[in-house]
A and B are shown apart, each in its own frame.
Chain A
Amino acid sequence: KQEVTQIPAALSVPEGENLVLNCSFTDSAIYNLQWFRQDPGKGLTSLLLIQSSQREQTSGRLNASLDKSSGRSTLYIAASQPGDSATYLCAVRGSQGNLIFGKGTKLSVKP
């Protein structure tokens, strides 16, 4: 059974720092991996989608990498801003098509 783990559970950094969020999964047979952002009381916003055949995806200050064989993904955020404060969720898409989520990393960027 696929399990997704995110480390750390919470992270607090000063504005301007570069940071890395980690995601690991137990079953490498995935279709893709998706990073989401969730703001308090809000829905999920898709940030990046990496297909199983890809190694990384970039969008603005965000870069996500995928190492399927080792069951790991990282989300790199460059030059963090207070507006980046949110919970970041990693999810893998398995053979049934549903997303299996980690518990998230709660990021706080202090001005």
Chain B
Amino acid sequence: DTAVSQTPKYLVTQMGNDKSIKCEQNLGHDTMYWYKQDSKKFLKIMFSYNNKELIINETVPNRFSPKSPDKAHLNLHINSLELGDSAVYFCASSQGSAGANVLTFGAGSRLTVL
């Protein structure tokens, strides 16, 4: 199946831990994104990478560090997890970083920090 896939789908962890969420797309896209959907269901951009280069970095704590080993992967590592990091994190991809292209989203990774 051609898709954007994220792992894990669910993640429950204690405050202070470090965790990673992985994202892979097999659509041949060159741009990938991380979005956060908070408890009020509001979706906001966190990061965007085009051909492994960071192009968008919104006001996100530096405990969040994205890593793009190649243009098909964009992983999100979070250090020293806090209660407020609990959210659903969505990965997305598109062909091109601007213009007319559709974003395709993954199914989301629900992070719960206890």
Binds A, one of B14-22, B67-75, B77-85, B103-111: B103-111
Q: Is the CB of B108 within 8 A of A43?
A: yes
User: Of all chain B residues, which has the CB nearest A106?
Assistant: B41
The A contact surface, by secondary structure, is strand
Q: Does A109 contact B (CB under 8 A)?
A: no
Instruction: Provide the residues of chain A in CB contact with B98, threshold 8 Å.
Output: 31, 93, 95-97
User: Of all chain B residues, which has the CB nearest A51?
Assistant: B100
Please count the residue pairs between chain A and chain B whose beta carbons lie under 8 angstroms apart in the complex.
61
Instruction: Provide the residues of chain A in CB contact with B107, threshold 8 Å.
Output: 42-43
Q: Is the CB of B103 within 8 A of A103?
A: no
B58 CB to nearest chain A CB (Å): 8
Q: Is the CB of A103 within 8 A of B40?
A: yes
Interface of B toward A, CB cutoff 8 Å: 31, 33, 35, 40-45, 48, 50, 55-56, 90, 92, 94, 96-100, 102-108, 110
Given contacts A96-B97, A97-B31, 20 further A-B contacts (CB under 8 A): A31-B100, A32-B100, A34-B102, A34-B103, A43-B107, A46-B104, A93-B98, A96-B55, A96-B98, A97-B48, A97-B94, A97-B98, A97-B99, A98-B45, A98-B48, A99-B35, A99-B103, A101-B42, A101-B43, A103-B40
Q: Which 9 A-B pairs have the closest CB atoms?
A: A43-B107, A97-B97, A97-B98, A101-B43, A44-B105, A98-B45, A43-B105, A43-B108, A51-B100
